[in-house]
A and B are shown apart, each in its own frame.
Chain A
Amino acid sequence: MGGLQKKKFERGSATNYITRNKARKKLQLSLPDFRRLCILKGIYPHEPKHKKKVNKGSTAPRTFYLLKDIRFLLHEPIVGKFREYKVFVRKLKKAYAKIEWSDVERLKENKPTYKLDHIIRERFPTFIDALRDIDDALCMCFLFSTFARTGKCHVQTIQLCRRLTVEWMNYVIASRCLKKVFLSIKGIYYQAEVMGQLITWLVPYQFSHDHPTDVDYRVMATFTELYTTLLGFVNFRLYQSLNLVYPPKLDSKSESEINEQNEEDYAMSSESYLEKLSALSASLARVVSSVEEEEAQLDQFPTEGEDMENMEAREKELKQEEKAKKLFEGLKFFLNREVPRESLAFVIRSFGGEVSWDKSVCIGSTYEVTDETITHQIVDRPSVDNQYINRFYIQPQWVYDCVNAKILLPVEDYFIGVTLPPHLSPFVEEKEGDYVPPEKLKIVAMQQGHKSVTEDEENEDEDSNEEAEEEEEDNDEEEEEEDEEEEENLKKLEEQRSKGKSLQVKVTPGKMKVENPARLEQEEKAEEKRLAIMMMKKKEKYLYDKIMFGKKRKVREANKLAAKRKAHDDAEKAKKKARK
């Protein structure tokens, strides 16, 4: 009988969890500090399997943390810094109250600060880990860099965010790793492949923000604090990997060029340096003088059979990728002042194009409108006054669509005043049975090399529509049957009408019932399946039903989209006819 008997909630899952309040008390932190610590250390609550057991029999809603997580936080040096800061604030308040300005001064000078380097190292033990989680950091930094310099957060933070994002964009340009761009109603999505990791970030459009009142900016600021540190280290490493100087410096050649032009317009070179960098028009200085990049050749291994095929496929893919990287090489763009300069400059430069803009728009323009060698001028207004003959005047969507299609699309669809073709998301990868918009099919066809598409667009369009319809028909035979039934009904109606006209009695030739063996077999199989489904166990049946329900819903949605499209196209056609 030895040993103490444990009480009810002193073992098992109840001992593995701790409520938020208890955790806070254990760490001796206030709630905001606890929140900050959790954000910085990446600690999140856990949902216990048996809530009631963990909650000691109560069913009150509580947030639970793993006890191990909280123990792990106990040894964090940042916690000490938080306490120091708390003391500092208390002393400062006291000094203010006593009007002891010298003390205030002294205290302010000794304001405790902390660094997050060790936390970054701990949370992201390898560089790849850091890259994998950089999506949110980029989104946040891009957002903060667009904030006004007043109010919501420290100016230094905004400046730092701006600096880091400019560095990042410069890296993407230098490494040419941008893959996809998408203009959404929220902002512009970019996707780049850095060291094999797909990184997606969202940049808001350039407008001043209407700051909402129900957002806690302290939380956002804490996240930004972490993210700026992370992004800084990542940038450093990335620049190092490309042999670029960090912090970035402009290439001496291009720098002198820019300097020549803009020397008189900008007063302080120290201030305008970031601006010059953020113009994105000049290349960066390298540690080692730039040698022409030798293209990485895949080593040839003696392989056989399938491997050979694989290798060939991979090689082909690589070649395509290389080609896509040089999409805009040799093209010279000029941006009108109404287009989003930064985004377009970023995209065009990351695909090897040259870009410039009016001198008054931004620092760093490299050539004038009057330059005869400009091939494309990007315009977003209904008409342009004096046009040059030897260049295309196109709308900005062309650039983005080309990047996503990985080919230069025909410019005719994107001229000034032309109704633009829909802008599709490059992130959607249609699986079998999904709805594919006809525009996507067109682009795919173009990618595969049908250059003649542009000539008889309409036909192609209809064809693709028909194809789509056929696919739908394959999808569900029931519809087909319905169609047949309708046809039969129509025939009957016709017959009735003809009967009314001609004699009452009519001899119709007998119809041979044609048995389609394939059809019969199909039906038999279907019935077999139905019977087998009847014999399924309850659990499996449930799962099966769920899967099938999901599949059917997908088909239904695809059909709905297709029907909507068809109705729209029909309406358009009718309008056209009416106009004629």
Chain B
Amino acid sequence: QLLGAGPADGQDDDTDSEESEYSGLEDSGSDSDSEETGSDPDSGEEDGSKEASEETGDEDAEVGPSAVKRDIRNTVGNIPMEWYADFPHVGYDLDGKKILKPLRSKDELDAFLDKMEDPDFWRTVQDPQTGRDVVLSEQQVALVKRLQKGQFGDINFNEHEPSVDFFSYDVMIHPVTNRPSDKRSFIPSLIEKEKVSKLVHAIKMGLIKPRRSQDDSKGRYYDLWASEEQGRVRDLRMHVPAPRVPLPGHEESYNPPPEYLMTPEERAVWEQQDPEDRKLAFVPRKFSSLRQVPAFERFIHERFERCLDLYLCPRQRKMRVNVNPEDLIPKLPRPRDLQPFPTTQSMVYLGHEGLVRSISPSPCGQWLLSGGDDGSARFWEVSSGRCVKKVEVCGAIKSAVWNPNQGLSLVALAVGSEVLLVTPPSTAADKQVVTATERLLSEEVESAMGEGPVIWSNAEGEELLHGIRIKIQHPKPVSQVTWHSKGDYVAAVMPDHSSHLQVLIHQVSKRRSQSPFSKNKGLVQSVAFHPIRPYFLLATQRSVRIYNLLKQELSKKLQGNAKWISSIAVHPGGDNVICGSYDCRLSWFDLDLSTKPYKTLRHHRRAVRSVAFHRSYPLFASASDDGSVIVCHGTVFSDLLQNPLIVPVKVLKGHVVTHDLGVLDVTFHPSQPWVFSSGADGTIRLFT
């Protein structure tokens, strides 16, 4: 066995070498070096037999070398051989004799020995049809190997030969086939006829439309407006042509002047704004040369937005008001032609501390009375600005009025809930007047003392020395006093929402008081006597009522647009009334015309505090919290058809606004075209 093992190894080596030899055959060259000497003669034989078999193969490829030796052929054909598995034979030979299966003499050991000893063992296969062993020839082995590699069995077959088309595009002179034409090619086809008739029918019925001729006229242009009629207008209704895109300004330039570029602050503001609010839709930029200019990234957007504007935006014709602003200014007579009127501040009366509530000139025009929050009433000489006399009272003076009667020298002051009748200093009047006044005041009148809400009393002691003569005690604080033009009656206002006792009229000569109204008509703001007729004007919060004192009835009710009336004044002619209100308005009422204001002037920027008419000149003035006094010219014509002419002529400024209060009272000089004003800054000013 040990001996056997050695040759077995050698045999293995042999087979290996043989394999390598076959592989060498294909390589054709490297065989001689690698071959072992022991197997050389074998391979020589093999070579020779291979050449021989090749020759025979050429003659008859189907006959194998084994068939040459013993020609046993099975005639069963190509059937599965397991059908003969249970028989002793495997088929029949050419003579019809059974081909017997070879005796199963070979066991594993024999096979092994064969394998060891027979050099052709590796190419010995059993023929399943005969059951004999067949040794494959060199040629057959090569064939098997080629097939295993997926190559063609025939060595000489070239798979990459250029193909030659049998039918080529060249027209040959000889026909491919020379067959005569069929009969059917001469007879019209029935099927085709059927198809055609169907199509014809479809065309006739309009089911199939003929192919549209290629219409290339789309891009072809011609003179569209050849037959243009001149003057023919668009027949579209209400057509508004689209507005053009505004032309670009300097700031859109790629190289704008430096002032058009945005500063960083402007840029920040621009970025914070909404795109709709921006004045410019883009940021101006500067490039030093044209080649650096980039593409504008919103270009397509802008064109698209223009498209949207064109078809989505409602169009409207907006009438642009193309007026010269100068034409809007009304043509008024020049103020210079309406002189005289006060123009300049010529005197300032200093002395009061705190607000100067009320001023009043004497009827002769030489003296001026003022009363203020500091509790003093002062008499001033108009021409010199000197304070002649100072009357101290307890409490702020709300109203101070000089008696308009030239024959009397008397003033009325409203202090708290009292009305004081004070005589001015003796230098202020003629002796006759003074005596007349004295007589009036010293008359002992048996009046209905104690009756009614009012108490009359004569002043005594210290007060008498100051010139206070009579004190009229009221139940409530008095805000305003006003004299009748005759100088005998004085009206006092006690504003109160809830009471009907808001106005009292006192008769000085008889020391008598009366309450004219039995009903509460609202908060009374101001009252005035009519200068000529026996009328009494009463301004409540929203309206002015005119009462006839003789008939004791309401004769008119003037409705201004004012929210809160502050003061009223009556034209000396008696037919016109002005009233100022806290909502900056001044309304001019023409009593003959209507109960609505003839004109409302909104000249002041703040509340109107006081209004006044001049006694002889056609002037009126209004004082307001904005620190100005506006003097207007207001002519009233005797002709009833002509409306009053109202022209503002001068804005007088001088008062300082303190604590949001400006000018508190305004009044005219009785004879000269001068105007006095008193303000919250504690001064009284004279404008001439």
Contacts and interface: CB of A to CB of B under 8 A. Distances in A.
Contacts of B225: 121, 126-127, 130, 233, 237
A226 B229 CA distance: 23
B223 A240 contact: yes
Nearest to A544: B328
A200 to B, nearest CB: 6
Given A220-B304, A397-B255, A184 B212 contact: no
Contact of B303 (A139, A185, A246, A562): A139
Interface in A469-514: none
B312 A44 contact: yes
Contacts of A139: 303, 306
Interface in B200-225: 209, 211-212, 215, 217-219, 221-225
Contact of B257 (A109, A115, A437): A437
Interface in B227-243: 228-230, 232-239, 241-242
Contacts of B169: none
A564 B262 CA distance: 10
A397 B288 CA distance: 11
A551 B325 CA distance: 10
Given A209-B295, A233-B224, A564 B219 contact: no
A301 interface: no
User: For A115, A215, A216, A235, which residue has the most chain B Cβ atoms within 10 angstroms?
Assistant: A215
Contacts of B136: none
B294 A535 contact: no
A531 B651 contact: yes
B450 interface: no
B293 A136 contact: no
Interface in B630-671: 630, 646-651
A236 B250 contact: no
Contact of B224 (A120, A185, A425): A120
B237 A395 contact: no
A219 B307 contact: yes
Interface string A330-343: 00000000111000
A45 interface: yes
Interface in A176-200: 182-187, 189, 200
A543 to B, nearest CB: 6
A87 interface: no
A236 B290 contact: no
Contacts of A321: none
A113 interface: yes
Contacts of B313: 44-45
B314 A46 contact: yes
A298 interface: no
B431 interface: no
Given A215-B300, A219-B307, A115 B218 contact: yes
B69 interface: no
Contact of A397 (B241, B290, B650): B290
Contacts of A187: 296, 299
Interface string B475-518: 00000000000000000000000000000000000000000000
B248 interface: yes
Contacts of A246: 221
A45 B623 CA distance: 55
Contact of B329 (A126, A536, A568): A536
B290 A340 contact: yes
Interface string A214-227: 11100110010000
B325 to A, nearest CB: 5
A314 interface: no
Given A204-B296, A338-B291, A561-B260, A185 B311 contact: no
Given A129-B234, A535-B332, A184 B306 contact: no
A208 to B, nearest CB: 8
B335 interface: yes
Interface in A197-215: 200, 204-205, 207, 209-212, 214-215
A115 B247 CA distance: 33
Interface residues of B, number: 91
Contacts, number: 263
Contacts of A537: 330
Residue from the set B252, B259, B288, B303 with the largest chain A CB neighbour count within 10 Å = B259
B289 interface: yes
Contact of A109 (B212, B228, B297, B336): B212
Contacts of A420: 255, 288-289
Nearest to B599: A535
A565 B323 CA distance: 33
Contact of A185 (B238, B239, B252, B648): B252
Contacts of A565: 257-259
B647 A236 contact: no
A353 interface: no
A216 B304 contact: yes
B308 A219 contact: yes
Given A47-B314, A126-B228, A543-B321, A185 B296 contact: yes
B291 A236 contact: no
Contacts of A448: none
A207 B293 CA distance: 11
Interface of B: 209, 211-212, 215, 217-219, 221-225, 228-230, 232-239, 241-242, 244-245, 247-250, 252-260, 263, 282, 284-285, 287-291, 293-297, 299-304, 306-308, 310-316, 321, 323, 325, 328-332, 334-336, 601-603, 630, 646-651
Interface of A: 35, 38-39, 42-47, 63-64, 66, 68-69, 72, 106, 109-110, 113, 115, 117, 120-121, 123, 125-127, 129-130, 132-133, 135-136, 139-140, 143, 160, 182-187, 189, 200, 204-205, 207, 209-212, 214-216, 219-220, 223, 232-233, 235-237, 240, 246, 338-340, 380-381, 395-397, 419-420, 422-425, 427-428, 437-439, 524, 527-538, 540, 543-544, 547-548, 551, 561-562, 564-565, 568
23 contacts: A66-B238, A109-B212, A113-B218, A130-B225, A185-B282, A187-B299, A214-B301, A215-B300, A223-B307, A233-B224, A233-B225, A338-B291, A397-B255, A419-B288, A425-B247, A425-B248, A425-B252, A524-B336, A527-B651, A528-B334, A531-B335, A532-B330, A544-B325
Given A420-B289, A531-B649, 7 more contacts: A66-B238, A125-B228, A140-B307, A200-B244, A339-B290, A527-B651, A543-B323
